[in-house]
Amino acid sequence: MRYLTAGESHGPQLTAIIEGLPAGMELLAEDVNTDLLRRQKGHGRGRRMQIEKDLVAIKSGVRHGHTLGSPVTLVVENDDWKHWTKIMGIEQLDSEEAAEEIKRKITRPRPGHADLNGGIKYGHRDMRNVLERSSARETTVRVAAGAAAKKLLKLLGVEIGSHVIEIGGIRAENLQFETIKELQERSEASSVRCLDEEAGAKMIEAIDQAKKNGDSIGGVVEVIAEGMPIGIGSYVHYDRKLDAKVAAAIVSINAFKGVEIGIGFEAARKFGSEVHDEIAWNEEKGFYRKTNRLGGFEGGMTNGMPVVVRGVMKPIPTLYKPLESVDIDTKETFSASIERSDACAVPAAAVVAEAAVAWELANAILEQFNGDRMDHLIRQVEEHKSYAKEF
């Protein structure tokens, strides 16, 4: 299974084309729209999210609510496009329009953004040609694709959720929950997607202060998936290790700079006896681990325990009190350009991370089992779970 996305931040639309979804899987627009709405929420979001009303249109690959096995096209229109039809138009400009466009040319790259590196790579003297595609607006259709993956996982008995555990150095402590459903309900009830109400209130204050200062703050999100069968992934080759694919998916998200699985970097400060999860067995569960410090992965494969992944999001690089930069035309020192942005997008990023992890888990299952038909896939996964339990 794979997907491609297309579209610019202020272009007419964003598009994802998914190839490899099994035929016969129920997929409705509301399955996707639920997650698109979740992505738009969160304390610290900018004015753009007040303009956009992200709704998906399924353009191919689905008939009467079920996938056909052919490519599925998902389209989300940009409502803000109507204000950018000249600036982001496809057709060539006349001489008068071109002269006006030169005045709007962005030549002051933002530190921490793709502007300068992308301009050098592709030869763009106008940084808008870079920032329009490198914008996190693209994660809209990544979430849409992830919603399709989540639907597949749910039909296979895999539940996935996310929450925020840190913003601006304020870390949540009370993170206990019984089920993924409870995790989702409690995180959705918080404007910063935090299970710890006291920490969440402090996070809101920190976001407000950063916004007041013309600054931005980052944080840490956690994704948890329960119900993955044992042995998905492989130890045979480095590029087939599922934990490696999940880690790559997390750091591929805009502004993410770190990832850990299970207790992650804490393992470096402990003895082996304090890190590895002891194996147990009973008739009801089959094989299981007494703890889950390794986050559901051993040897590049799932071990049947919940998959636990955390990602670190840096502060957004677009600042209303911009840092120093250099104009690429004059080579003079200036403050970097200002684009409409968020003070904090960590709560929304948790939803994006959830989609990214869901995609990798679903794809790994489809790589291991025949995925032409959804009913066949469900039967194969159930047979594998029974086999692993009786092993």
B/e letters for 219-244, b = 16+ CB within 10 Å, e = fewer, are bbbbbbbbbbbbbbbbeeeeeebbbb
CATH of the domain at 46: 3.60.150.10
Q: Which residue type occupies 139? A: T
d(CA 222, CA 256): 13
Count of domains for the chain: 1
Tell whether residue 134 is among the known ligand binding residues. Answer: yes
Radius of gyration of the chain (CA): 22
Tell whether residue 302 is among the known ligand binding residues. Answer: no
What mean pLDDT value characterizes the chain? 94
Q: What percent of the chain has pLDDT over 90?
A: 84
Tell whether residue 125 is among the known ligand binding residues. Answer: no
Tell whether residue 139 is among the known ligand binding residues. Answer: no
pLDDT in tens, 332-352: 999 876 666 788 999 999 999
Tell whether residue 109 is among the known ligand binding residues. Answer: no
The per-residue pLDDT for 335 is 82
Q: Return the C-alpha torsion angle 354, 357, 359, 360, nearest 10.
A: 180
- 97 with 103: CB under 8 angstroms? no
State the Cα angle at 115 between 113 and 118, rounded to 5°: 115
Q: What is the pTM of this model?
A: 0.94
Q: Return the C-alpha torsion angle 81, 85, 86, 90, nearest 10.
A: 110
Tell whether residue 71 is among the known ligand binding residues. Answer: no
Tell whether residue 128 is among the known ligand binding residues. Answer: no
Q: Which H helix or E strand runs over 297?
A: strand 297-298
pLDDT in tens, 195-242: 999 999 999 999 999 999 989 999 999 999 999 999 999 999 999 999
d(CA 153, CA 169): 33
Tell whether residue 316 is among the known ligand binding residues. Answer: yes
Range of the domain at 295: 2-390
Tell whether residue 315 is among the known ligand binding residues. Answer: yes
Tell whether residue 299 is among the known ligand binding residues. Answer: yes
Least confident of 101-110, 264-273, 293-302, 364-373: 101-110
d(CA 347, CA 40): 9
Tell whether residue 135 is among the known ligand binding residues. Answer: yes
What are the Cα distances from residue 239, in Å, to 234, 299, 358? Answer: 9, 12, 18
- 168 with 213: CB under 8 angstroms? no
| Residue 286: Cβ-neighbour burial (10 angstroms; 0-12, 13-18, 19+) | middle
